[in-house]
Amino acid sequence: NGPIVAGQRAQAERTITMPIKVGDTLPNTTFRVMTAEGPKPKPSEEVFKGRKVVLFAVPGAFTPTCSKNHLPGFVKNASAIKAKGIDAIAVTAVNDPFVMAAWKDAAGSDDIEFLADGSADFAKAVGLELDASAGGLGIRSKRYCMVVDDGVVKSLAIEDVPGKADVSGADALLKSL
C-alpha cells in the first residue's frame, strides 16, 4: 500500500503547466542579470510592469540559430521595433548570467536586455520549456517571441522547430506591430 500511495501522491502533486497564451498575465519569477557588482536577481515584474516589452526566447546563447539568425535580427531592427511603441526588447535563455553577459558583449548591443533563466524557472512557468536532453542540452526554452504590455501577453509566436527563427524573428515581429 505504501508505494502505491506514494506514487499516487507524487502524481497528484505534479502540475502540468499549459503554455501561456494571448491575454494571460505573465507569472512572477526571477531572472538573473549581470551588473557591475556581479549577477543580481531581477523579478519578472520589474521587467514588464508599466512597459510594453518584446520578449524573445532562445534555446541557448551562442547556439547556431540563436547567434547567427535570431539575436542579430533584433539587434539590427531594435530602433525600428522601438519606433512602433515598444519600450524595451529583452531576450531570455536557459543559461547563467555570465554566459548571457558574454553573449551580450559578443552581440555588441545595449538595446536589448539579456535575462538569464538558468534553471528554466520562467520557461517552465510559462509552459514553454523544451526538453533537449536527447541532444545533451537538458531543459531549455522553446524559441518564441511575445509582446507583453504591463505584464499581459498581447501576441505570441512560437516556433514549431527549435532550429528555426521564422515566426519568432524580428522581421515577422515588425510586420505584426
| pLDDT, tens digit (0-9, with 9 covering 90-100), for 110-167 | 999 999 999 999 999 999 999 888 887 888 899 999 999 999 999 999 998 878 888 8
The residues, ordered by sequence, that sit 6+ positions from 60 with a Cβ below 8 Å of its Cβ are: 66, 93, 94, 95, 137, 140
User: Distance between CA 74 and CA 70 in Å, rounded?
Assistant: 7
Taking 90 as the threshold, does the pLDDT of residue 11 lie above it?
no
pLDDT higher than 90, residue 2: no
CA 28, 59, 174: angle at the middle one, nearest 5?
Answer: 80
Residues annotated as part of the active site: 66
Nearest to 41 by CA among 49, 50, 32: 32
Confidence of residue 98 (pLDDT cuts 50, 70, 90): very high
Determine the average pLDDT of the residues in 15-25: 81
> Comparing C-alpha atoms, which of 101, 128, 132, 130 is closest to residue 115?
101
144-149 and 152-158 beta bridge pairing:
antiparallel
Q: Are 140 and 59 in contact (CB under 8 A)?
A: yes
pLDDT at 68: 78
pLDDT digits (tens, 9 = 90+) for 34-43: 999 999 999 9
pLDDT at 31 over 50: yes
The pLDDT of residue 7 is: 42
Question: Quick check: 5 pLDDT over 70?
Answer: no
Write the single-letter amino acid at 3.
P
Is the pLDDT assigned to residue 92 strictly greater than 80?
yes
Q: Count the neighbouring beta carbons within 10 Å of the beta carbon of residue 137.
A: 15
Q: What is the pLDDT of residue 17?
A: 62
CA distance 112 to 170: 12
Total-model pTM: 0.87
User: How many Å apart are CA 140 and CA 157, to the nearest integer?
Assistant: 17
Q: How many CA atoms lie within 13 Å of 78's alpha carbon, on the beta-carbon side? A: 15
Residues in CB range of 153: below 8 A, 6 or more apart: 20, 21, 22, 23, 24, 25, 26, 146, 147
